[in-house]
Amino acid sequence: MKKIDINVPVQYRHLSEWTEFGDILPEGHIILNKNITGCGCTVFFLTNDKPVILASPRISLIKSKLKDKNIKRKLFYFDRSDGNKDLNETIAEMDKYLQSCGPNPFNDLPNVPKILSTFDSLFNVLSALRARNMLDQFTIVVDEWTCIFTDVRMKGSTVINFLHTLKSLPNRIVNISATPLNMVYLDLMEEFRGMEYVTLEWDPSM
C-alpha cells in the first residue's frame, strides 16, 4: 500500500472551494483519509462536474446531504427504505432523474447526475446503470467507509458482497473517512491490498 500526502492550500477551509482537488487525487481505487470532519469532502463530490454515486452506510447521512444548502445540484436518492415499494418503481424514478440531467441552457450548472444510495442498495444502482451502459461514467464515493468494520458483525454477507462488488469495478472509487486505519492491516485484506492511501494535510489552524 502506497501512502500519499496531499497538502491542502491554506486559503481553503473546505474542499468544496478547491476546484482542482479532484484532479490531484490518484485515479483508480483509493482510500482518502480527510483527517478532519466537516471539511466539505462529500460536498465537493456532490457539486463537481463529474457523475457521482455516493454510497453511505446510514440513511441519516444521506438525508443530511439532501438538506445541505451548499449543494445546489439536483440529487437523486435511490430510496429503498419503504419495504412496500417495488424495486422497478425506484429504478424508473432514477431513469426519470437521469433523463432530466441532459443539457439545460437555462441552468448555470452542468446537470451531471449525482445518485445517493445506502451500502445495501448500491448493487441495485450499479446493476441498473450497467444495463443502461452508463456505469463506466461514474465516480463511486464511499462515505464513512470504515463503518464496514463495525457493520460486518450485524450484516456480514452484505458487507462482503459490497466489498467484492466494488473491487471488481474499473471505476474510480474513493473510500472516504476521517478515522485513520493502520495501512499494515489494510494490506492484509484482499479488498484493500495495493490501494493508494491518501492523507490530507491541513494548515495547523484547522
Q: What is the pLDDT of residues 71-92, one digit of tens each?
A: 988 999 999 988 888 999 999 9
Q: What is the pLDDT of residues 23-36, one digit of tens each?
A: 999 999 999 999 99
Q: What is the pLDDT of residues 161-198, one digit of tens each?
A: 888 899 999 999 999 998 877 777 788 788 888 899 99
What crossing angle do the helices spanning 122-131 and 87-100 adopt, rounded to 10°? 60
Q: Is the pTM of this model over 0.85?
A: yes
CA distances from 191 to 28, 121, 171 (A): 13, 20, 15
Dist CA 148 CA 158 (whole Å): 10
Average pLDDT over residues 149-167: 79
Q: How many residues are there in the chain?
A: 206
Asked whether the predicted pLDDT for residue 39 surpasses 80, the reply is yes
